[in-house]
Structure 1
Amino acid sequence: MRQRILFLCSILDRFASAVCVLAASILVAAVLAIVVLRYGFGTGFIRLQELAGYAFAVLLIFAIPVCLARDGHVRVEILSEALGDRYLAWADRVALVLFLVPVFGLVVWAYWPELAYSWSIREGSVETGGLGGLFIVKTALPVAAALTIAQGIAAVLRPRRAGAAHSGQDAL
């Protein structure tokens, strides 16, 4: 059962990583097009600017579960140098269970009515002539929160090597 969960979380990580790559590619292309159009041709498009904003939002929110899956999250490292690796591994696990899962679960739960309303009206841009589909971009927040919970569960279930508690090197 443990291996199945870890395998599913690995697939979800690949999905989140692919979304990040796609969003980053769109962001780079959109910003490049905006700069060339504005400074090369003296014109611009609101839809293109909003596409860059949407891509940045999706990239930023999906980077959280991707970072967590690679053990790249930020820790407060005040006391960790004096503590053993075993203690640090258990502290990570307790923090993931007591803080990460409830906080991101609250994000999904609290944001759900807003998301349901956004989908019900097929929310679009607030700008005249802007890009539609804001409701799809808003969906990224609870999806990324759920993916973060899944990666937190995987981090708790994943076996760790001695000395790998904070090095980013997990043994599967």
Structure 2
Amino acid sequence: MKLAAIIDAVTDRIGRVVCWSILLMVLLQFAVVVARYVFSTSMLFGIPAVWLQEGIVYLHGIAILLGTSYSMLWNRNVRVDILYDRASPRVQDLTELFGNLLFVLPLCIVIAWASLPNITMAWAVKEGSIEPNGIPLRYLLKALIFGFCALVSLQAISSIIRAGARLAGRSTAPIYRTDTSL
């Protein structure tokens, strides 16, 4: 349970930081619209429009790739709850245990393995934007796929530990965080 608590704390911290990237993304998009349609310029504070547009895409990628584990922590991820909500707590715990063990963890391994050649090549050539004068850091964004796999795997392990403890009768704590008083 200590390991699960550590994983949850790390996930929570990363998720709270990533939440700010969403605000930054919205503000950046607003600034681009104002610059383009109000001031008829493609520059904002000396920054080319292509950098601003790609910055929005980068922030969106960061939010999705690094925020997924945070949504898992708070049980806000998308799932098909046709039977899960009506099931007994024991069946829910078994579903969490085996779902994470048999589906989430293997999926993360497959994603990491399948993306390895692309990420390795991107790093080897220091892949940048396909746009002229674009952000030259696309290889860093691609590397976040590994971050996604690591964070989601860790959060799945936390859920497995918590579900296993509940099934063994060693814990009655919920698998997911439910406190809404942020």
- TM-score when normalising by structure 2: 0.82
2:79 and 2:20 map into 1 onto residues whose CA distance is 28
Q: Is the 8 A contact 2:105 2:153 kept in 1?
A: yes
Deviation, structure 1 residue 137 = 0.8
Matched position secondary structure for 1:106? helix
Q: Is the 8 A contact 2:54 2:134 kept in 1?
A: yes
Q: Number of residues paired by the alignment?
A: 167
Matched position secondary structure for 2:109? helix
Runs of at least 4 residues off by over 3 Å: 159-165, 167-170
Of 116, 124, 129, the match for 1:125: 129
2:64 counterpart of 1:55? no
Moved more, 6-15 or 112-121: 6-15
For 2:23, the equivalent position in structure 1 comes to 25
2:35 counterpart of 1:37? yes
Matched position secondary structure for 2:114? helix
- Aligned partner letter, 1:59: A
- Aligned partner letter, 2:33: V
2:110 counterpart of 1:101? no
For 1:16, the equivalent position in structure 2 comes to 14
- Structure 2 gap segments, 5+ residues each: 43-48
2:17 and 2:97 map into 1 onto residues whose CA distance is 27
Deviation, structure 1 residue 55 = 0.6
Q: Is the 8 A contact 1:101 1:152 kept in 2?
A: yes
- Aligned partner letter, 2:79: R
Of 68, 75, 93, the match for 1:71: 75
- TM-score when normalising by structure 1: 0.86
Q: Is the 8 A contact 1:123 1:132 kept in 2?
A: yes
Matched position secondary structure for 2:105? helix
- Aligned partner letter, 1:87: V
Note the aligned Cα RMSD (angstroms): 2.2
What is the identity percentage for the equivalent residue pairs of Structure 1 and Structure 2?
A: 23
- Structure 1 gap segments, 5+ residues each: none
